[in-house]
Chains A and B, each alone.
Chain A
Amino acid sequence: MVVRLTLGPSGAGRDRVARAVMDSPRLYGEASDPELLHWSAGGDRRAFGEVVTRHGPFALRVAARLVADTHTAEDLVQEAMVRAWSQAANFDPRRARFATWLYRIVVNLCIDHRRRVQPEPLPDNFDPVDTTPAADEALAASQRRAALAKALGDLPVRQRAAMTLVYDEGLSGAEAAQILGVSTKAVERLLARARGTLRGRLLAGGPGQEMEAC
């Protein structure tokens, strides 16, 4: 006679345990990016909400520096996030970090947008003059900021992207290279060209004198 022993809950009990495991709350805030994307691929929109919360600020900052206005930046980042959602099942964490993958989508959308749209020049009354006596210093600062914004905005978009990633967001040259899909040396060339142009635009003394990487 054979006695079969059943360990653990049987039948309906097993189903209850399985449901309890499935229904246990996912700790979205503590989950890694690959986990969140894995859950998102399975249709978990709360998981993707955490993705948006976690990576949205960086994406918005980068996009806002690459395109003409913040409203367009928001639209492009939204599009990037929706594409990431639809492609979540295709993401392979062994091939790239999720952040690199996502930010590449953002940057590429911004680059494509810049190439399609000719940016509008700043209007003549962009920086209205304040004639109050105490406004001279504030005016000078405002003019410097406007000149900086204009000079940065006039850079070729890939140079602007390299500057944004390295100077504004603090990424290494290697990290920026992964997002841009180029070599680290190529990023250094982009940065050097951008700095050369900016030096000529922003500093007194004529054209940029900085050496460019070969």
Chain B
Amino acid sequence: MLTLKRFATLAASYGADLDRWPEDIRGEANELLAASPEARALLEQARTLDTALVGNAVWQLGEQEAALVRLRIGVASRIADTAGLKPAQRPSWRLDLRWLGMAAGSGLAVAAGLAIGVLDVPAASSPDIVQIMFQPAPIDILAE
């Protein structure tokens, strides 16, 4: 049986949205809400803070996608380094990666890839520059 004290503790932690509460206790929480004005008041108090917490976006539109592109490139490069690939087999990183990321975020990822080099892209699949860079096969890179 969910007590009012435990209900208050959960509201203090998880706020007013019962979807955040432990799944096995939501049924009892709803029952208590139906029966107890104190429980309803606790939830309303929690809701005021929940409202203030909305709007905490970290990435602006497109920025996260650009960051993911940079992440994939950066990881591919470091993994290639640890694999001991010969220089001719490794992707060239002379371009500033943040420029590449911003270009990707503005929808110019393909153009950026063409600026990096000529890649062996399978005809049947859409060109994924970073996926190619994860391949162990040698990659011909145009000099800057």
Contacts and interface: CB of A to CB of B under 8 A. Distances in A.
Interface of A: 43, 45-46, 48-49, 52-53, 56-57, 60-61, 64-65, 70-71, 73-74, 77-78, 81-82, 85-86, 141, 144-145, 148-149, 152, 166-168, 170, 172-174, 184, 187-189, 191-192, 195-196, 198-199, 202-203, 209-214
Interface stretch (B32-40, B48-56, B104-112): B48-56
Contacts of A52: 71-72, 75
Nearest first, the 5 closest Cβ-Cβ pairs linking A and B are A49-B134, A188-B13, A191-B13, A210-B12, A64-B58
Contacts of B10: 188
Given A49-B76, A86-B82, A148-B56, A74 B71 contact: yes
Nearest to B74: A78
Given A85-B75, A192-B13, A213-B12, 6 more contacts: A45-B136, A46-B134, A82-B79, A85-B82, A149-B56, A195-B13
Contacts of A78: 71, 74-75, 78
Contacts of B23: 172
B135 A43 contact: no
A198 B49 contact: yes
Interface of B: 8-15, 20, 22-23, 45-46, 48-49, 52-53, 55-56, 58-59, 63-64, 67-68, 70-72, 74-76, 78-80, 82-83, 98, 130-131, 133-136
A196 to B, nearest CB: 7
Contacts, number: 139
- Chain A's interface: helix, strand, loop or mixed, by majority? helix
A205 B63 CA distance: 37
A106 to B, nearest CB: 11
B12 A211 contact: yes
17 contacts: A45-B79, A49-B76, A49-B130, A61-B64, A82-B78, A82-B82, A85-B79, A144-B55, A145-B55, A148-B53, A166-B14, A167-B53, A168-B56, A188-B9, A191-B13, A202-B52, A212-B12
